[in-house]
Amino acid sequence: MTIEQSGTHPVQPAPVAVQPAVQPAKDWFASAVVYQVYPRSFADSNGDGIGDLQGIIGKLDYLKKLGVDVLWLSPIYTSPQDDNGYDISNYQDIDPIFGSLADLQELTEGLHARGMKLVMDLVVNHTSDEHPWFVQSRSSKDNPKRDWYWWRPARPGTAPGTPGAEPNNWGSAFSGPAWDYDEATGEYYLHLFSKKQPDLNWENPEVRAAVYEMMNWWLDRGVDGFRMDVINFISKDTALPDGVKAEGKLYGDGSPHYMSGPRIHEFLHEMHQAVFAHRTGPLLTVGEMPGVTVEDAVLFTDPAREEVNMVFQFEHVGLDHGEGSKWRPRKLRLTDLKASLARWQDGLAERGWNSLYWGNHDQARAVSRFGDDSPEYRELSAKMLAGILHLHRGTPYVYQGEELGMTNMSFGAISDYRDIEVLNHHREATTHLGHTDAEVLAALAPLNRDNARTPVQWDATRHGGFTTGSPWIAVNPNANHINAAAQVDDPDSVYSFYRKVIELRHADPVISHGGFTMLLPQDEHVYSYLRTLPEIEMLVLGNFSATEHTVDVGDNTWSKAEQILGNYPHDASLTLRPWELKVFRRLR
């Protein structure tokens, strides 16, 4: 789940050097790789067109061969599916479209038997409006669960239920106001996302206790941790003041009043104490945190503070957003990307830990966005992107299909889309903002979330081998040549290259433990950095263009070092061919 950001850090110049961490990372996840499964689009076992748990179970050997250590499972809880499962109506059961608790237990045991861990998505900023907690909360002002959510009367001097009567001017991430009027009780409830996703009131200790009890229940069943959806939204300024309304916007920006709010560190530490502190064994907690700063991330991920292991930040995936919106995309400058990622490497070098990702279920396909998805360069750029990302310091995340070089989808009409964010924006833009259908569709194409949600392409058969039925969203037509069956046994495939990169992270301590130094920060074509330990150093070079570039890193002897990874036949030079990756390693 994502939300448009404002007030995030401007990109700063890339530091020339980052010193090695004072103490080597000791946690198991320093050398681990996480694989995200978006269940409804992964593999369908029963022909209903929706991926399910048995479909995932049937692909565990595929994941084992890839070499990943953790499977992060997007929501599979009981849900009306207004936001594809991020609207939960029962935290302790499985939605029948995905399977059953027994299926999940089989999946958990299958992962553990193969040496992998299971991380569940945790969505506790909000629930579904069909969750029993909210059903009770909205039943009357006197219900004991009324204060489990954010209820407020209409703005003074206005008629309840009319436009402008909302308690404040905040907009929802999915278009429209962030408040919905409940006629039965005459008050509004807050929903930062869909109106079917009312926000929980974490100021109420009963809410927090119920969430912690639920989390413990899952860990007791063998789950190995949680990815926490928009977790830095759970603490809000209780005054709920109006946000600044920018020119041309329909609503105010409420994010300064709920992003990393006044009690967020208190809540996350309390969660750690109630859920994780008494447990032994390797567990993983990662907080999705839109708008988080490097300075805040140090606090969130400092092990001594006992909050979360790492955060998902969004700075680098906002660099191609024009005028503060992903619906106004602009060309990404490589110098901006390097400046951003280097600043995060620097900021978390001594305390805390980075997550590393190009894509997920909320982002466009990596090779289409950061690489070149043309037939000539798709495979080369997909491999280069894998090497550049995974050799940073942090824990890499692979989104399903990324290891195959899957690309963005071409959607011809608004009826081809399924994402609520897209559908609501299209309606608002064409109805209230005066844009034509063609204008909105063109703006939606590059960065819409459905690009990542088309089904995994398993083979060249009908629907890419995803289902024997009709898929819930169309399969990309290029499945006839971009698919797993064509790659798993091909030593030169994108899949096989990901295997090599993952094996390298597992084997080489300079990747998991070493310091980071950004090189050539002003080069608009070449991404270059050093990873160092006292006895070892590694040079990573990536060409983000379709033209050849000779690299000067101030040390020509690197061309004589051992090249341990590349996406072209090795040659003893510092010249990079189009979309080439070269990785050298030597003793110091």
Looking at the annotation, which residues are catalytic? 229, 288
Largest CA distance in the chain: 76
Whole-number Å distance between alpha carbons of 217 and 210: 11
CA 437 to chain centre: 29
DSSP code string of 404-439: GT-------SGGG---HHHHHHHHHHHHTS---HHH
d(C-alpha 2, C-alpha 193), whole Å: 9
- CA–CA separation, 112 and 301 (whole Å): 26
Pair 221, 108: CB distance under 8 Å: yes
Taking alpha carbons only, the member of 40, 61, 48 closest to residue 489 is 61
Q: How many CB atoms lie within 10 A of CB 295?
A: 9
Q: Cβ–Cβ contacts within 10 Å for residue 584, how many?
A: 22
CA–CA separation, 393 and 533 (whole Å): 12
Residue identified by tokens 């398993």 is 458
End-to-end CA distance of the chain: 44
Residues 95 and 51: beta-carbon distance below 8 Å? no
The token pair at 61 is 């050997």
State the Rg of the chain over Cα.
24
Give the integer Cα–Cα distance in Å for 222 and 181: 40
Cα gap 357→344, rounded to integer Å: 13
